[in-house]
Chain A
Amino acid sequence: MTPSVLVVGEPHGDGLAPVTAEAVGVAHVLAGADGPVAGLVGGAGSASAIRELGQFGVGRVLRIDDPGVEGASPGALARAVAAAASTVGARLVLLGGTTFGRDLAGRVAVAWNAAAVNGATDLRWDGEALLARRPVLGGRATETRRLLGGRYVVSTRPHAFPVPERPPVSPSVEAAPAGPVPPLLLGPKRLGVKAVPSGSGPALADAAIVVSGGRGVRAPENFRLVEELASALGAAVGASRAVTDAGWRPASLQVGQTGRTVAPQLYIAIGISGAIQHLVGMMSSRVIVAINNDPAASIFRVADYGIAGDLFEIVPALTAEVRRVRGT
């Protein structure tokens, strides 16, 4: 029997988060050539989310019609996902490994009585078991876990899987089952959400390119050099702990052990010496570039490419070159 897979569509703007498309891609692989892949959507962007799922070859979509799904607490959402998984007879529930998906996965696993893993970068069946690979110890190692028991909940790490190339379909749409939610789970209220202003670049956690600045930029006003390069590349901006501790930029930008762990396709470290605290937050990046005036800086030991030189000269030149190549 081909295993059925349910992909939880993560809302993003008017449609789906890019990581949902990647999850659909691996769902098609795990479900087999013609295996059933279903999607779950809800909220204001449902119509375009359904269309997008169809473009990625998802033939069946369950839609949560309760308007309360906007701003629902993870507890209530997890119940909805578990109910949908049972409705489609899924063996596997896939979520994108963003804040949204990672926070939900453990709860869905308990609600649906499944084994779980977060942030998978590789997935394959091993008989009835599912093997999931993921970076651990801040990218210093990778671990493969064997999930057992026949029901699995997995979030996929952003950029780990390709977006599927499938013939588009027109999905069948049905109402997702509405199960009872214990009153206790309805207590929390979302008071508001301040959208990330458009034009401020992608979110750090799921950006394809991250440009980070460290102590070497010397003053808060010089940090714009980092931001201009990020803007030219369409990248997210990160910072080392020295920068956020000094208050030059908010703590939410901190990459490292006490900040965020990122794993973009390209990580550019500017004026960052490479303390272990920082390295464990970015070492799983696919390609690392370091720009630092100290050729002995430890960042050059983990980087793939290095430029030893004055960042105040190199970075503006790099920004100009990127703009020239991109024609912007």
Chain B
Amino acid sequence: MEIVVCLKPVPDAETRARPLPDGTRFDPEGVKFVLAGYDESAVEQALLLKEAIPGSAVHAISLGARSRTDEVLRAAIALGCDSATAIEASPAAFEDPIAVAAGLRAAIEGLPHDLVLLGKQSGDEEEGLVPGALGELLGLPHFGFVVDLRWDATSQRLRFGRSTEAGEESWEAPLPCVIGLQQAWNDPRTAKLPAILKSRRAPIATVRAPTGPPEGPTSEPARFELPPPRTGAKMIEYRTPAEAATKLVRILSEEAKVFP
């Protein structure tokens, strides 16, 4: 099975977010970009499938500023991915999810692909638009929020679950297919030192993302704001647990108005 895994470098969760002086968008200066948890789990899933199906290969691709993509692609190679492709695009194209999907398509169409794997959403924007957009652009079925992905060799189909508001769905799908994974149901492996050192010299292919039509639909950041700093909890003073409970329920109904 030829597997393409799409990776997005995202700000480290410990990052202190702040807007640019003009207030329009996130200021990336001095921010550490890492492989998101959702994407780590996608790499692990790809490697598990590769190990289970003889003759498989995993191709890692990533779109964004070169300094960031190369970092996550080398991390993917160190974990056991077979090839790496960086997708270069104009900065504006990073900022619209549909444009991101179009950039990913450009790389995917140049690679053998039975299965395209993504995290369900990026670790920073948390939109979850890309799996569906990519599926439609490639003309392939897609499923987001997937759990428990397996390959059924007998039927030659993927089997997986989806946890939706309606309940726990179970699905089967033939290849090729685009899959957005819900979360780390696996325990992602860590790279070994020799592999990390070797990945420093691994070749990274380059693909240029297409530019969309000038009047076409797109989106751009207009404002990036931090919430007013939380001042810390108002602590409830009490002598007995019953008193604490009574006071909290009263506050929630009269002051916060979230109850009953």
Q: How far is the CB of B212 from chain A (nearest CB, A)?
A: 10
* Residue of B whose beta carbon sits closest to that of A208: B258
* Residue of A whose beta carbon sits closest to that of B249: A321
Q: How far is the CB of A205 from chain B (nearest CB, A)?
A: 7
Instruction: State A261–B232 Cα separation when bound (angstroms).
Output: 21
Decide if B252 touches A301 in the complex (CB within 8 Å): no
Number of contacting residues on B, CB 8 A? 91
Decide if A305 touches B171 in the complex (CB within 8 Å): no
Residues of B within 8 A of A194 (CB): 167-170
Answer whether residue B193 sits at the interface, using C-beta atoms and an 8 A cutoff.
no
Residues of B within 8 A of A102 (CB): 127-129, 144-145
- Contacting B at CB under 8 A, from A260-297, are 260-261, 265-266, 276-277, 280, 286-290, 295
Partner of A266, one of B13, B166, B256: B256
Decide if B218 touches A141 in the complex (CB within 8 Å): no
- Contacting B at CB under 8 A, from A172-197, are 182, 184-185, 187-196
Answer whether residue B219 sits at the interface, using C-beta atoms and an 8 A cutoff.
yes
Instruction: State A23–B141 Cα separation when bound (angstroms).
Output: 27
Instruction: State A251–B242 Cα separation when bound (angstroms).
Output: 33
How many pairs of residues, A versus B, come closer than 8 Å at their CB atoms? Answer: 307
Answer whether residue A42 sits at the interface, using C-beta atoms and an 8 A cutoff.
no
Stretch at the interface among B48-56, B67-75, B93-101, B198-206: B93-101
Decide if B252 touches A289 in the complex (CB within 8 Å): yes
Decide if A193 touches B13 in the complex (CB within 8 Å): no
Answer whether residue B151 sits at the interface, using C-beta atoms and an 8 A cutoff.
no
Instruction: State A99–B26 Cα separation when bound (angstroms).
Output: 27
- Contacting B at CB under 8 A, from A99-146, are 99-100, 102-111, 113-119, 131, 133, 135-146
Decide if B164 touches A106 in the complex (CB within 8 Å): no
Decide if A321 touches B242 in the complex (CB within 8 Å): yes
Residues of A within 8 A of B124 (CB): 136-137
Q: How far is the CB of A288 from chain B (nearest CB, A)?
A: 8
Given A74-B142, A115-B96, A148-B217, decide whether A141 and B260 contact each other with a Cβ distance below 8 A.
no
Answer whether residue A47 sits at the interface, using C-beta atoms and an 8 A cutoff.
no
Decide if B260 touches A325 in the complex (CB within 8 Å): yes
Decide if B220 touches A254 in the complex (CB within 8 Å): no
* Residue of A whose beta carbon sits closest to that of B159: A191
Given A196-B166, A325-B249, A325-B260, decide whether A78 and B136 contact each other with a Cβ distance below 8 A.
yes
Answer whether residue A150 sits at the interface, using C-beta atoms and an 8 A cutoff.
yes
* Residue of A whose beta carbon sits closest to that of B163: A252
Decide if A131 touches B171 in the complex (CB within 8 Å): no
Answer whether residue A87 sits at the interface, using C-beta atoms and an 8 A cutoff.
no
Answer whether residue A88 sits at the interface, using C-beta atoms and an 8 A cutoff.
no
Instruction: State A165–B226 Cα separation when bound (angstroms).
Output: 32
Decide if A309 touches B133 in the complex (CB within 8 Å): no
Residues of B within 8 A of A133 (CB): 223
Answer whether residue B244 sits at the interface, using C-beta atoms and an 8 A cutoff.
yes
Residues of A within 8 A of B210 (CB): none
Answer whether residue B216 sits at the interface, using C-beta atoms and an 8 A cutoff.
yes
Instruction: State A152–B219 Cα separation when bound (angstroms).
Output: 10
Most buried by A among B163, B215, B234: B163
Answer whether residue A69 sits at the interface, using C-beta atoms and an 8 A cutoff.
no
Instruction: State A140–B125 Cα separation when bound (angstroms).
Output: 11
Decide if B245 touches A314 in the complex (CB within 8 Å): yes
Residues of B within 8 A of A258 (CB): 37-38, 41, 183-184
List 18 other contacts, CB 8 Å, given A103-B145, A185-B141, A307-B238: A102-B145, A107-B136, A109-B129, A109-B217, A137-B124, A141-B225, A142-B225, A144-B223, A184-B141, A188-B174, A190-B169, A192-B170, A194-B169, A305-B236, A306-B236, A316-B241, A320-B242, A322-B259
Point out residues on A near B: beta carbons under 8 Å. Answer: 10-12, 17, 73-75, 78, 98-100, 102-111, 113-119, 131, 133, 135-152, 182, 184-185, 187-196, 203, 205-206, 209, 233, 251-252, 254, 257-261, 265-266, 276-277, 280, 286-290, 295, 300-310, 313-314, 316-318, 320-322, 325-326
